[in-house]
Amino acid sequence: MKDVVFTTYSFGELYCYQQERLKESILKVYPKANMMFWSDADGASHPQPGRPPGAKPFSESMYGFKVHCIQNCLDAGYKKIIFLDAAMILEGPIDDIMKLASNKGVLAAYDRTELKNVISDDCFDYVSNDMNLSREDLKKLTLVGGSLYVFDFNEPSTKFVFDYWAELESKGLFGKESDDARGLLKGHRKDETCLSLVLNRYGKKPCGFDEIGYHNMGHGDKPEKGFTFYKLHFKGIGQVHEHSLNQSIIPLHGNILDLGCRDFIFTDFFKNQEYNVVSVDIGVFEGDYVRAAISHKDGKCFHKEERDPDASHIEHSGEIKDIVPMMTLDTLSKKVGVGHWDLIKMDVEGSEFEILKQGKHPMASQICVEFHAHCTPQTKESLDELLDMLSEFYFIHGREWKEEHSAGFNYWDVLLIAKDSTPVRYE
């Protein structure tokens, strides 16, 4: 890996945060990795010192910085260059990917979007004569994904691809923000459209995800084994086992609490990515978990089994013999030694109401919660009152009163994202 360099540019607070996470993930796999990263925490709408040398402001050349990230790596003497979107993370070695790059020269992921729908008139007019392209020909071409580009300049044709791509950027054909806002670009996809055209010009094709080792986990896709690069976009709220969350704002190895872990699907999803997951349930089954009921007070309660095991819940009185320890989130956090939760999943058959109503807020950076108005004394009115109260502390997503699972109306999938960047600490 001595001859490989990773490069990216980020602007704005959230992208810069993601860049730090990307850097951490690379160093975990390659402690001595070469990296040429640039960043502007305050944004990139006007000239700033953080852009890669030679790059225009984003408003003048959308994603043109990618060309200049790569050019600066070339100027520094690197021949094998990997451009990564800041929202990516590296999960494992990339030997197979670099071997493929040495044969193909340029790797970019296939996107099924037809190029005819994502090209501006200016771009088409510029390339059509040189490439002998008609509008009809565009129907046969597809876009490439711009989150991951691999260039190996030891393969002779790579320089031709890069130079033509850089020419399109220098001519303003990636597009300007002002033109995009006015609809003049007609869906033009900036660097992605241009690179797709150039690859076709030199007889190259995009790679499948399995070839390039790229997988998008930010929009509800199922994880697959064998992928090396993952994209976790902070704007993308996806789902894990029917629970909405924003994985991209969870730090690497972040603390995750799975309340109601019965089937361990949610737990295993994050444990497989080496997050610190604490699993809690009131049931009795095999697995590494804490058997307890999380509620608004410490004490004990009773485990009430139902014909549907997923509907099992706690009761505070009765003749039920199965006694379960009951504790607050504060008590549990101290018990397991976690000072801050990056994500809490609540699927606890009604207890979520009192936990959220009486807890300290924001109790986590994110909380994904399934309410249970269909099987508890909760009502839409009481839940609306609760969510209105919580809106002081959280941005609320998925506040939809709807009927699902043949179980009546409910707020089935609510995501709370803390407004305060310093949630409650449990010490």
pLDDT digits (tens, 9 = 90+) for 109-168: 998 899 998 999 999 999 998 898 888 888 889 999 999 999 999 999 999 999 999 999
Helix axes 121-131, 157-170, angle to 10 degrees: 140
Region 183-204: mean pLDDT is 94
- Give the model's pLDDT for residue 220: 38
Residue 329 clears pLDDT 50, i.e. is over it? yes
Nearest to 356 by CA among 329, 325, 326, 316: 329
What is residue 208's DSSP assignment?
Answer: P
- Give the model's pLDDT for residue 209: 82
Region 239-263: mean pLDDT is 87
Residue 219 clears pLDDT 50, i.e. is over it? no
Domain architecture of the chain: domains with CATH: 4-230 (3.90.550), 237-418 (3.40.50)
111 by Cβ neighbours in 10 Å (0-12 / 13-18 / 19+) ranks as: middle
Region 174-194: mean pLDDT is 92
Nearest to 187 by CA among 119, 125, 247: 119
Q: Tell me the per-residue pLDDT of 353-369, one tens digit each, with 9 for 90 and over.
A: 888 998 889 999 999 99
Residue 307 clears pLDDT 80, i.e. is over it? no
- Give the model's pLDDT for residue 104: 96
Asked if 379 and 373 touch (Cβ cutoff 8 Å), the reply is yes
Nearest to 413 by CA among 373, 368, 375: 368
Helix axes 65-75, 157-170, angle to 10 degrees: 130
Q: Is 34 or 21 the better-scoring residue by pLDDT? A: 34
Q: Cβ atoms within 10 A of the Cβ of 136, count?
A: 8
C-alpha separations of 70 from 1, 10, 229, 391 in Å: 17, 14, 19, 43
Q: Measured on CA atoms in the order 326, 298, 394, 402, is the torsion positive or negative?
A: positive
- Give the model's pLDDT for residue 280: 93
Two tokens at 289? 């978990």
Residue 192 clears pLDDT 70, i.e. is over it? yes
Asked if 344 and 259 touch (Cβ cutoff 8 Å), the reply is yes
Two tokens at 301? 């309660």
Residue 402, H or E segment: strand 401-403
Average pLDDT, whole number, for the chain? 86
C-alpha separations of 22 from 1, 16, 156, 195 in Å: 17, 10, 30, 24
Specify the pTM.
0.68
Q: Distance between CA atoms of 301 and 329, rounded to whole angstroms?
A: 15
Q: Distance between CA atoms of 235 and 218, rounded to whole angstroms?
A: 9
Q: Tell me the per-residue pLDDT of 390-399, one tens digit each, with 9 for 90 and over.
A: 999 998 998 9
Region 14-32: mean pLDDT is 90
Q: Distance between CA atoms of 285 and 263, rounded to whole angstroms?
A: 9
What's the pLDDT band for 407 if we cut at 50, 70, 90? low
Two tokens at 188? 């033009």
Beta bridge pairs of residue 326: 293, 299
- Give the model's pLDDT for residue 221: 42
Residue 311 clears pLDDT 50, i.e. is over it? no
- Give the model's pLDDT for residue 320: 54
Asked if 346 and 369 touch (Cβ cutoff 8 Å), the reply is yes
- Give the model's pLDDT for residue 6: 98
Residue 38 clears pLDDT 70, i.e. is over it? yes
Q: Tell me the per-residue pLDDT of 231-250, one tens digit each, with 9 for 90 and over.
A: 776 556 778 888 999 887 88
Cα-trace Rg, the chain: 25
Two tokens at 97? 């990917």
Nearest to 239 by CA among 269, 268, 264: 269
